[in-house]
Amino acid sequence: MKNPNTDIAIVGGGIAGLALALGLHSRGIPSRVYEVAPEIKELGVGITILPHAMRELTQLGLQEKLVAAGITNYESAFFNRFGQLIYKEPRGLRAGYSYPEVGIHRGRLHTILFEAAKARLGADRIVLNRRCIGLEQNDSGVTLHFQKTTTGAAAPSVRADIALACDGVNSAVRRHFYPGEDVAFEGINTWRGVARGKPILDGHTYIRIGSIKTGKIVIYPIVDDIDGEGNQLINWTTEAPLLGRPKNDWNKPGKLEDFLPIYESWKFDWLDVPALLKRSEVLLEYPMVDKDPIPRWTFGRITFLGDAAHPMYQRGSNGSAQALIDARTLADLMQTTDHPQEALTAYEAARLATTTKIVHTNRTTPPDFINIKVDELTGDRPFDDLDKFISQDELRALSDNYKRIAGFGQKDVG
């Protein structure tokens, strides 16, 4: 970018916004981030950094810190709700990728990005406690209006050459252009949490049990030896059909009694699922929502990235990966042009169709489609020989197909 003095405002200091700021900085392009949170805390539950996400974070110089802060996945394993192994495969480095796959506390990932951004950009370029409440643009720039999150008081408006919306699924910037839009809810509620426990299987396995038809749970470790006694911090996520309940509220803590009955009988010789859930130290509830893909992200001097552009079902750990790819793609394009608006248009052309396909795939054939397929073939009953119903090669093909669509087949990532 020939004019490094172009003012770039990034709305949102989550994974997408901070990665974008770091990527622009590494290319000699300054920016300033405006984040709604009044302070950055290690909140939330776990997240999986897939190899294509780790590729982007490695380019930002963060792989070593992230590996140290999380747990490397060696395998992914699929089980039915009776605890029987359906299929397993190596992951990350053990699958031949150039980058590891890591389970990590989302708060730790966010903190590592935040500290790197403060150190490289300067702390004054990460402005907290700023909620975007409006905007306008003309031929010379964009004006963003903010209020202080903590008090609701007016904060100084910001003038920028371009504005990049990284403010999540409920993006205020996107709402300006799509005011009547709402999230799409198909009747699936989720609950998420973390619990301490002894390593499950080898302590390095990403586990899927059951299917959305009868209840599903995903389990993986995110912190090793958390107490000096060999226990791990284990992340879990459940999905269950609505069953007459309203869409749950992601602003409230979850209640164990709302979903535990589904899993009460899930006691296997290798894992007691209800016991794990009852030990939870954090318990949150979320609706399984996304948004219908839109035909346009870029409006003059403004564009959307990450969940502001393409919110997708929280399946397959791919939302954060796609946000990171968005950030790198736009940073690359910003570096190659003297006209920032051209970069925004080219970025949309490069990313919109790909992410639209992933949004639809996460709805219809997510990575746990393996479990759904086996349940259908076996009549949701224990099996004595799975090969009578489907072969391991056929299951592997289902897994590989999702990876290709989601952009992390081994040939795509390296």
User: What pLDDT digit, counting tens, does each position of 32-90 carry?
Assistant: 999 999 998 887 889 999 999 999 999 999 999 999 999 999 999 999 999 999 999 99
**Using one digit for the tens of pLDDT, what is the confidence trace for 257-306?**
989 999 999 999 999 999 999 999 989 988 777 788 999 999 999 999 99
Question: 3-state DSSP call for residue 23?
Answer: helix
Question: 222, 206 in Cβ contact below 8 A?
Answer: no
Q: Nearest 5°: phi and psi at 179?
A: -70, -25
State the alpha helices, DSSP H only, in 216-365. Answer: 260-263, 273-278, 319-335, 340-364
DSSP state of 278: H
Q: What letters, b where the CB count within 10 A reaches 16 and e where it falls short, cover 16-39?
A: bbbbbbbbbbeeebebbbbbbbee
Spell out the residues 6+ positions from residue 356 whose beta carbon is closer than 8 angstroms to its own.
Answer: 293, 310
CATH 3.30.9.30 is right for the domain spanning 184-290+365-413: yes
The count of C-alpha atoms lying within 13 angstroms of the C-alpha of 93, restricted to the half-sphere facing its C-beta, is 8
The Cα–Cα gap between 35 and 37 comes to 6
Question: 367, 404 in Cβ contact below 8 A?
Answer: no
Amino acid 237: pLDDT: 94
Amino acid 184: pLDDT: 75
Spell out the residues 6+ positions from residue 18 whose beta carbon is closer than 8 angstroms to its own.
Answer: 33, 110, 113, 114, 116, 117
The Cα–Cα gap between 296 and 181 comes to 14
**Domain-wise residue ranges, the chain:** 8-47+107-183+294-364, 184-290+365-413
Say which CATH class 8-47+107-183+294-364 falls into.
alpha beta
Residues in the chain predicted with pLDDT less than 70, given as ranges, are: 1-6, 242-251, 316, 367, 414
